[in-house]
Amino acid sequence: MRTKSVREGKGASLEDARARLIEAAIELFAKKGYEGTSVRDLATAAGVNVAAVSYHFGSKDELYHESLRACLAACKTMRDLMQVHLDVAQRAKTRKAAEEALRGCIQDFLNVLMSPEARHSHLVMREQSEGKPRFEPVIREFFQPVGVILRDVILLLAPGLSDMRVFMVISGIIGQCLHVYKARVSYRVLAGVDSHSPEYIEMVSKHIAHLTALGLRGLEREKGTS
């Protein structure tokens, strides 16, 4: 049970201490993992009393989920923007509008990945790669709705595509975007590009969308001849 006797540190407000704990959790969970990070580690990094974790979050597990929600807050805005692209394409009912919606969705995703807050992506990617059950609620809350929007955009371009084919197309899009994020330093060294610039992100978005649209045309032709 939480008590009012928790010391937050001299001059620190309760909200400030809570925010510092979330920031510390993002950094430490990304660097050391959930199991490798103790409550004392979190409190020390945040500059608060050990009891502050229980006071503000109830448990280390809940602090973990709050840190992931903080990392993925931008996903809600991204999802809203993607939905706008889809709505426009559904009203237009043209292939050109659907291809533009695809490009817009990809650019929205890259904008989140390549933003100055991309350091938060380290925690998300670590948890994704470890595949622990504790990450599953995050997938359902944040990633699944985005996947549904991408699915609907893809089906505008290739109606009747099987669920597995759609899943594979989405996986290809996400994989290319993640490569752009992970290889950003190499791109700067080898090609001299500023991978964070809006111009570069727009160019890459168009490229991925164009290749995806070409692939979907091929799948449509393949379906027509089978």
Q: What's the whole-number mean pLDDT along residues 219-226?
A: 70
What is the average per-residue pLDDT within 87-107? 97
Name the pLDDT band for 10 (thresholds 50, 70, 90). very low
Sketch out the chain's domains with CATH numbers.
Answer: 14-69 (1.10.10.60), 72-225 (1.10.357.10)
How crowded is residue 64: how many other Cβ atoms within 10 Å of its Cβ?
22
| pLDDT, mean of residues 149-171 | 96
Residue 198 to residue 53: CA distance in whole angstroms: 39
Q: What percent of the chain has pLDDT over 70?
A: 90
pLDDT at 52 (0 to 100):
93
pLDDT at position 120: 63
How far is Cα 166 from Cα 160, in angstroms, rounded to an integer? 10
- Strands (DSSP E) along 54-135, which ranges? none
To the question of pTM greater than 0.85 for the whole model, the response is no
Residues in the chain: 226
Q: What is the mean pLDDT of residues 132-137?
A: 80
Alpha-carbon distance of 135 to 128, in angstroms, equals 7
- Gap between the Cα atoms of 211 and 186, Å rounded: 22
Distance between CA atoms of 153 and 90, rounded to whole angstroms? 9
- Region 149-164: what's the mean pLDDT? 95
Residue-wise pLDDT for 33-42, tens only, equals: 889 999 999 9
